[in-house]
Structure 1
Amino acid sequence: MFIVQKYGGSSLQTAEDIKKVAGRIAELYHKKTNLIVVVSAMGNTTNELTDLAKKISPSPSQRELDMLLTTGERISMALLSMALIDLDVPAISFTGSQAGVMTNDSFNNAQILDIKPIRVEEALKQNKVVVLAGFQGVSPKTKEITTLGRGGSDTTAIAMAAHFKASRCEILKDVDGIATADPKVNKNAKVISEIAYNHLTDMTFWGARFLHHRAAELAQHLNVPVFIGPSHKTGIGTIIKGESLMYENQKILSVNSHAFVREVSISADELHEAIDKVQATLTKKQLPMLQILHSERKERQWKLLLTGAKEHITPINGIFNETNELSTVTTTCLGLVASSKAAELAKKLKSNGIETKNIIYAPLSITFVLDQRDREKAIHTLSMQHAND
């Protein structure tokens, strides 16, 4: 069996955590499982490095920031390889560039263009466990080190699993699996044992944090079987495979949210012109492009709904003339949704004192745009509705 595993930073916070992960990998290795292990930076290392950069420069060079941030995963990969070798498991660590992760030349938010894992293939032939630094690659055009953006280690793992036709890709974290809502907000959230790719991509696009949405799209496109579960115990988790038949079952499957959303107004005739203006402005300010959730035209003004990591979304308040601080809360349903379901949920929110600024429809979901201060209350309200469905 060939498995690609990815361990998140919360599973690698301390030396003891790394030793536990090494023990789990060693058990699989001795059961004749071929393994590629992708790692994130330890604990909050990425945030700490970002904060350190901001102390040096309020608007750090994107190139130098990538050079700095990639050190976090390199620490994890080296320490985990050391722990495996001490357990008599032959292991070798590689950076993204050494592993042949080829990207475009966009700093902070690069996309994988190709995988040329020559050294990885050689190590696997020698029966070694390969430990890869996630989140990073190299541009063959510029020869520069790049990072894949927040959640990029997930994308690394999915891409490797697809290239090597792995039996499955395991995303191992500090959660029991995909839940009906964020367990940190709703303590009554329950683990879903199996979901389809189209549910996965909808949930992650609208803010579910168990997998980066680019990784979810890649898994669906390349048909990679995915397991999401806990890193330090077994027997639970969520399997993602296949497609939902998408009958008109409007029962709520999960409630997800983007905490930091901004609506900006851009003067332009065409949408692509508005997006180009946003990207040019962000690039000038040494910020990566943000995720566009929704666009709407009013005369010559385009209103764009943007989201991203807090450190990237907060600075735009002072960049664009008109900026509204919002959140989104989304219900992903088992099947195709109808406007009657949106009306029912909007009425439920209103009865709990929550005003919706806008409603966005997608085939499997209904998204409510609202003030940031109402976010957690809206999650609880819609989660209660999910329990009653």
Structure 2
Amino acid sequence: MADLQDELHSTSGLDGVPDPFEDASRTSAREPDTAELERARAVLTAHPVADGYSGLPWALRRLPWYDLELGESSVDTDLPRLRQGHVGALFWSLHLPEGIAGDAAVGSTLEQLDLVNTVVRTHPEGLRLVCTAGQATDARLCGRVAVLLGPAGAAALGDSLGILRALHGLGLRVLTLSGVSWAGERGLTRFGEEVVREMNRLGVLADLSGASADTVRRVLRVSRAPVLFTRSAALALRPHPSNLPDDLLAGLGAAGGLCMVPLTPEQTGPSVRAVADHLDHVREVAGPECVGLSGSYDAGTAHPQDLGEPSRYPHLIAELLHRGWSEADIALLTWGNVQRVLRSADFTARAAQQRREPSTARIADLDG
């Protein structure tokens, strides 16, 4: 959230280069022993990772050919590495590069949706497109990685609730509320509030990573469904405009939302231990039911030492087990909390559809 931190510190703690903002004791890697890794893999076999953010759709656009089943060195993510990392579900981001807006944003989002469908269709033994918690569990039990569509950027709506409904019909389940006139630095407008209500009616989750503080506070009051922060860590540990202060983490916990901690040095620090520090902090402040994981692979960002690809998730879980996390808390972190939020969104949508018809509101009528 841009107005919560005046200065964004750069991170240089990559490839062994010390990070000036990181305690030296937290940057050194503690290599887990064989027993710790085996225990971590056993826990992940029972409770696989539901990863909150993958930039794979945009990354694949630049490749003339790829095969995720055989392995693809041009991207961070492929099926062999997902299986090695025990990833059971993956939110595929439909975000766009900065500067794309209007009809171009709508069209580019639809092209990414089409690409995701093509990728899933051409990898039927490894991937399955899902929309609900139950479908994600079914995919996992069948040995497939569940693909959930979103987050997409709010610009993809073109300021139209009809387009929101069309995108939901195509499978969209998460929308980031930032970067548009109705959800910006000044918070939600009247039309923005109507967007949130329609998202609740449809079962589309609000992603507030990068949203302004005013937008966050208003969405928490308006939304009847839990909200997500798909790429946010603890501001108390790491200055970054998308990281959350403790008061907001506590409020998120009280509202039953979910903070998905990204594996990016600029937000969490350059090591497995630094990432684990953020997970510890979010769990302590927001509660064990409000913390999740966001690999942020193929999103154009670096990753901490020993977490350079999704196959390395067991190293992070081994660190948490070493710190005394129980299997129950890890089960919530990796799988259970995402399932809860998806189920809650579906329950809220079913209840709202009994009370509310599809909204016909237009931005010109409410914000004109």
What TM-score range do you get, normalising by the shorter chain?
Answer: 0.3 to 0.5
TM-score, with normalisation over the residues of structure 1? 0.32
The structure with the largest helix share of the pair is 2
Highest RCO, 1 vs 2 (Cα 8 Å, sep ≥ 6)? 2
Question: TM-score of the superposition, structure 2-length normalised?
Answer: 0.33
Q: Which has the higher strand share?
A: 1
